[in-house]
Chains A and B, each alone.
Chain A
Amino acid sequence: DAGVIQSPRHEVTEMGQEVTLRCKPISGHDYLFWYRQTMMRGLELLIYFNNNVPIDDSGMPEDRFSAKMPNASFSTLKIQPSEPRDSAVYFCASSSRSGWGAYEQYFGPGTRLTVT
């Protein structure tokens, strides 16, 4: 089975540009999470969805960040306008709420974003 798919794997953009990161969760998973990893802050949750509905976006740093999940197999994280401090690795993860595995999240390979 395919795991969580993220695209692009690497993104280099100039300050002020719009950036869109994409994620395809594992089929059948009803939770989707967006994380950001930086040296300073580690792995931090930005937002998560349940059945395509945003449940908790308290980790979204500011209004420049937005996330959508139009259907069960696709989600986007958009940064507009981007700033150098947004440079990080962004991970998407998904999980299924069945049984003891409910807490186990499956991560994608990440998108390394560099804003110059």
Chain B
Amino acid sequence: DQQVKQNSPSLSVQEGRISILNCDYTNSMFDYFLWYKKYPAEGPTFLISISSIKDKNEDGRFTVFLNKSAKHLSLHIVPSQPGDSAVYFCAAPNSGGSNYKLTFGKGTLLTVNP
């Protein structure tokens, strides 16, 4: 039972354009979401996060949007750069108490073409 779903395994965009990566979740108890970026032969690295009390969080070229009613979040990268080519994972921690266990989506491979 996948509680965090990334339905697009891959996405290709041109340099300078916007990249939009999507993520859906099923557990309405999730109240915090994270995006990780992974290059080949490296571990995932934290990129940006959002709390459920917000609907948008921005950090430079990266913005995450949260639509709680649709149980959907998206990561926007503007403008996209070739160095952004990587696998992007969305993740959510199990809710409540001190449980810091993260559930990850299967990832979306982003390719930014020069």
Binding site for B on A (CB under 8 A): 4, 31, 33, 42-45, 48, 50, 56, 91, 93, 95, 97, 100, 102-110
- A110 cross-chain contacts in B, Cβ below 8 A: 41-43
- Asked whether any CB of chain A lies closer than 8 Å to the CB of B7, the reply is no
Interface size class of B (residues with CB under 8 A): 20 to 34
19 interchain pairs (CB within 8 A)? A33-B101, A42-B104, A42-B105, A42-B106, A43-B44, A43-B89, A44-B104, A45-B101, A45-B103, A50-B100, A91-B44, A103-B32, A103-B100, A103-B102, A104-B46, A105-B46, A106-B46, A109-B42, A110-B43
The distance in angstroms between the C-alpha atoms of A48 and B45, with both chains bound, is 18
A105 CA to B104 CA in the complex, in Å? Answer: 12
Chain B residue at minimal CB-CB distance from A103 = B93
Distance of A106 Cα from B43 Cα, bound (Å)? 8
List of B residues within 8 angstroms of A104 by Cβ: 34, 46, 49
Task: Decide: A56 near B101, CB < 8 A? Known: A43-B107, A103-B34, A104-B49.
Answer: yes
B98 close to chain A: CB less than 8 A: yes
A17 to B34 Cα, complex, angstroms: 37
State whether A93 touches B100 (Cβ < 8 A).
no
| B34 contact set on A, CB distance < 8 A | 103-104
Cβ-defined contact, A109 with B43, below 8 A: yes
Q: CA of A105 to CA of B41 in the docked complex: distance in angstroms?
A: 18
CA distance A43 to B104 in the complex (A): 6
